Structure 1
Amino acid sequence: MMILRRRILRLAVYAMTIGCASGLAAEDWSRFRGPNGDGTARDSQPVPSQWSPQENLKWKAELPGAGVSSPIVVGDRVFVTCYSGYGVDRNQVGNIEDLKRHLVCVDSQSGRILWDKSVAAVMPEDPYAGIGVTAHGYASHTPVSDGERVYAFFGKSGVHAFDMDGNEMWQASVGTGSDPWQWGSASSPIVHDGLVFVTAAAESQALVALDAKTGQEVWRESAEGFDGMWGTPTLIQVSQSRTELVMSVPFEIWSFAPKTGKLLWYCEASESEQAHSSAVASDGVVYAFTGRGGGSIAVRAGGSQDVAKSHRLWTGSESDRFGTPVVYQGKIYLVAGGIVTVIDGTTGKKLSQTRLENDRSSAATAPSTSGREGGRQSGRGGGRSSDYASPVIADGKLYFVNGSGQTFVWQLGDELEQLSVNRVTDESESFGGTPAVSQGRIFLRSDKHLYCVAAE
């Protein structure tokens, strides 16, 4: 018993050290899909389950441009990226040389814009044409913060670090290439142990680690397999001495050592040549759901080399085209095609499927985003391809926003109970970003505004 207690104490001290070093509070939503990238709010404050333009809408802030990235929250500040100058209006595309990216900082209490930093586009940029960039534009990557700085990835225009007051600390290029389809990039950066990890899939077919203080490149791992990957990596702590950086790529799952970039293990995952959504991890297991009939897989982390025979737990037929599922209390929740599916995390067995009631999403007007952040419409007309946000869980409830701005809320339990369908505006706006949740408030971004929902 004494040995067990000492081990628990050591793990607790280790966890406290990681938390304190980050400079972030438990209630912060500091990256794509929350503090640990798992789509689950950590604070226990009640979160509204019902709102409208007249009820529980605390404020809305006009943004300087469009975008499908997700907001993040650090303390009393909300950060979101946008783009302007080109490709905002399909009827008047404009001049590509006028394209700018923005990192915007908004006061979380009042909705007042505190600062707006713009970055000119590095040319040649992917044109606003085809079925890719026209669907998501040029602000698809969600920023990330370690509590001291905010890091924004703008594709060919590089990675930019700002302090909390908007002073640019450094910038670094990670490549200026394009993916074979010229659909643009989308993977969001993440931060761990003093490093900023950037998946420059389109820009250089590489995973790059930058020093968080200086922007200096620490390591780079290149592979052709990065082409066709738009998801965001996830971190999984396997033991006190081992943390893995895991991602879903076409055909496989890869795991890297964060400090060195060494490939730790890989596992055959599907026959899909594209990986749109992000891998998720829970209790030492990595889950990946691919699109276009690619199916799903669960792999136990901690292996070495090819782990298909030794660590693969199950495979399934469920797909999640663009959005990333959320794992909670042993169950996996995914929303795709107007249906929420619940899967047993241990066996992969489908537990239930429920259609979204009163779902009125419009594929004709909504851009793409978040599960792989920077999704695109299928090009087949109609369908459900406009819903790109990922579901999140807060206060025992599941939240999902579709492309037209409807937010569905379910009470979690043995069976899902749909509580409400909500809107923050009666105007025609496109919603692509995954919601951020912090201190009992929900932050939603459209192509025009940033919204804050809170109990009045």
Structure 2
Amino acid sequence: MMTPRDQYNLAFRSTIVCGLFAAVVAINLGSDYRSRTAKDPLNSAEYIELRAQLLEDPKNETLQESFRALDTELRDAYFDSRSFSYWGGWLLLLSTAGTIGLGKWAAVLRRRLPDPTLTSSERRATAGETDNRIGRNAVGGFAGLAVLLAFGFFMAIPNRLPSRPTVGQADEDAHLASSDIEKGDTSEPPSSDALATQTAELTPSAIPEGFPTVEELAANWPRFRGADGLGIVTEMAMLTSWNVETGEGILWKTEVPLPGNNSPVMWGDRIFLSGATETTREVMCFDAVSGELLWQKAVPGTPESTAETPNVMKATGFAAPTMATDGRRAYAIFANGDVGAFDFEGNLAWSRSLGIPNNAYGHASSLMTFENLLIVQFDQGSEGENLSRILALNVESGETTWEAPREEVPNSWPTPILIYVNDQPQLLTCGAPNAVAYDPRDGKEIWRADCLYGDVGPSPVYADGIVVTANEVPGVTAIKADGTGDVTETHMLWDGFMGVPDLCSPLATNQMVLLLTSDGLLTCYDLHEGGDPLWEHEIDASFSSSPTMIGENAYLFDTDGQVFIVKPTLESCTEVGANDLAEPCVTSPAVKNSRLYIRTETQLMCIGE
């Protein structure tokens, strides 16, 4: 049996060990945090040098492979560092709490230890002095531990840095230089209505009878980033605060049976998602009111599509492309090239295989519909292999209506969008080296602009007659959409290279362009003038989801499931709120009737009032 002194020694020594452990964790966290915040992983000397070489020789496949490998390596290292900070923060919290508890236990035991050499009166006097000394030491000790505790909370909770104005700087590479535009500072800030103007100018007369009207399309969320593919919702109020743990603002949550990195699409009260593993490919339909899984059906494969497993990255997966719906059927495509269509009751309308794509990361371009056509951007292979193509499939049968080769385009991952220019439809696509506009009815090329290099991920956007493309190499470009033929020398308005994303698609209003990088830099350009960025806003988070603008607020979903809500204007970016989805998230939301529907790693949830 342990004596009181043995108990005290155990408590005291445990306190010392736990305290030393907390101190070591705190030192390592502090060192890691200083390194992480002071050094952008994409600003390493090797990365910058390789990027410059690729700009000089964009068709060098060896350089492309080296750049792709280094980019993946740097991002993995950055994410590992963030994971270390997160778990280290919790270790610090636990060890600090343990030190406090053990210290309190030791202090109590210390007061109880008898000294046989003292009289009763001397013991009482000594006990009083001991209590006073312990009290003084406890105040100092607890103060130090409180500092460690606060530091632990600081490390465990993502930090958001404030906005800072960008200092203009000269570009060392002449072919990347942005023209310096002198801007006056007397202009009035635009109204929220002007900033949140819906940018795809569809007209009712442009939609033939028998197909969804403009009003039907706008009232639903039929494709990636909404009806126009731009990620902008106007004149709609949306919650800026919710709590997954307490259920505040969470109308329902439902488990999703299969994994997939695609975003939800909606029509009426139906929500569609796809999911897949190496051997299974399925479409799922949920009730938008209750979240109930209504049906789950497999897309049959073919001997060709199931002969081997497609090579995909974990970040892409086997079901990355977002589905599309036209209110009649729901359409899905998977990493192995299988395409399937289901009616709203879950009956298979048709399926076919386009062949397993030769894609470095895995196929991820999402689907869209136009009239009676399902549009598939099917880029693959390396430059010179002539494997890429864009197809239009008949929505009723799946048969190919037209197909256009994309001979110069290697594997890429953007999703096309549809715009109207002078009441005529254009199908906009991105893939190195060009942004290309096609006639969606027959696949004939309308115009092209040489403005892209390397691996292209972000999708194009459109506002006020201007197409905006963005990719880490070579940068962001604004193009007038009313040209024909090669418009590289005639219709490119401006370009820039600061704050350009490699994954997240841009946002564009009639006033500004917003770019979000994977490592959390939100950058604003003037849509019409370009030049240096108007401002930059840093967020201590990692992103692969494309941002969504609802009313005057932009919703940014990070890979850990944090949702940052900001209000951007031409002058600045104001933080509105931050919320947690309690699960990782790499998808973009569907928005309808002031409700937000988002897919996390394992769940589909509805946020609203």
Match of 2:466 among 258, 278, 285: 285
Distance 1:417 1:391, change over 3 A: same
- SS at 2:314's partner residue? helix
Distance 1:157 1:266, change over 3 A: closer
What corresponds to 1:298 in structure 2?
Answer: 478
Measured in 2, the distance between the counterparts of 1:447 and 1:348 equals: 37
Match of 1:198 among 356, 376, 390: 376
Match of 1:325 among 492, 506, 513: 506
Measured in 2, the distance between the counterparts of 1:417 and 1:23 equals: 32
1:256 paired with 2:438, answer yes
Distance 1:267 1:127, change over 3 A: closer
1:392 paired with 2:583, answer no
- State the TM-score, normalized to the length of structure 2: 0.62
What corresponds to 2:397 in structure 1?
Answer: 214
Measured in 1, the distance between the counterparts of 2:357 and 2:337 equals: 11
Contact 2:284 2:296 in 1 (8 A): yes
Alignment length, in residue pairs? 393
- SS at 2:336's partner residue? helix
Contact 2:222 2:325 in 1 (8 A): yes
Measured in 2, the distance between the counterparts of 1:133 and 1:257 equals: 33
* RMSD of aligned alpha carbons: 2.0
- SS at 1:281's partner residue? strand
Contact 2:283 2:332 in 1 (8 A): yes
Measured in 2, the distance between the counterparts of 1:209 and 1:13 equals: 22
What corresponds to 1:410 in structure 2?
Answer: 566
Contact 2:310 2:356 in 1 (8 A): no
The one-letter code matched in structure 1 to 2:574 is E
Structure 1 residues 61-70 or 325-334, which shifts more?
325-334
How much has 1:250 moved relative to structure 2?
0.9
Measured in 1, the distance between the counterparts of 2:404 and 2:455 equals: 19
1:352 paired with 2:535, answer yes
% identical aligned pairs: 29
What corresponds to 2:218 in structure 1?
Answer: 26
Measured in 2, the distance between the counterparts of 1:454 and 1:158 equals: 35
Measured in 2, the distance between the counterparts of 1:393 and 1:34 equals: 11
1:50 paired with 2:231, answer no
What corresponds to 2:406 in structure 1?
Answer: 223
How much has 1:302 moved relative to structure 2?
2.4
Measured in 2, the distance between the counterparts of 1:79 and 1:134 equals: 22
The one-letter code matched in structure 1 to 2:530 is G
Contact 2:299 2:338 in 1 (8 A): no
Contact 2:460 2:467 in 1 (8 A): yes
What corresponds to 1:187 in structure 2?
Answer: 365
Contact 2:463 2:510 in 1 (8 A): no
Greater share of strand: 1
1:35 paired with 2:213, answer no
What corresponds to 1:162 in structure 2?
Answer: 342
State how 1:222-241 maps to structure 2 within 5 Å: 222-240=405-423
- SS at 1:332's partner residue? strand
The one-letter code matched in structure 2 to 1:47 is M
Larger Rg: 2
Structure 1 residues 442-451 or 410-419, which shifts more?
410-419
Contact 1:289 1:320 in 2 (8 A): yes
Measured in 2, the distance between the counterparts of 1:123 and 1:284 equals: 44
Greater share of helix: 2
Distance 1:45 1:286, change over 3 A: closer
Distance 1:12 1:303, change over 3 A: closer
Q: Larger RCO: Structure 1 or Structure 2 (Cα < 8 Å, ≥ 6 residues apart)?
A: 1
How much has 1:400 moved relative to structure 2?
0.9
- SS at 1:447's partner residue? coil
Contact 2:212 2:327 in 1 (8 A): no
The one-letter code matched in structure 2 to 1:410 is V
Match of 1:420 among 577, 581, 584: 577
What corresponds to 2:276 in structure 1?
Answer: 83
Measured in 1, the distance between the counterparts of 2:233 and 2:240 equals: 15
Measured in 2, the distance between the counterparts of 1:171 and 1:21 equals: 26
How much has 1:124 moved relative to structure 2?
3.5
Distance 1:111 1:320, change over 3 A: same
Contact 1:174 1:208 in 2 (8 A): no
The one-letter code matched in structure 2 to 1:262 is K
Contact 2:409 2:433 in 1 (8 A): no
Contact 1:171 1:215 in 2 (8 A): yes
What corresponds to 1:449 in structure 2?
Answer: 603
What corresponds to 1:101 in structure 2?
Answer: 281
How much has 1:75 moved relative to structure 2?
1.1
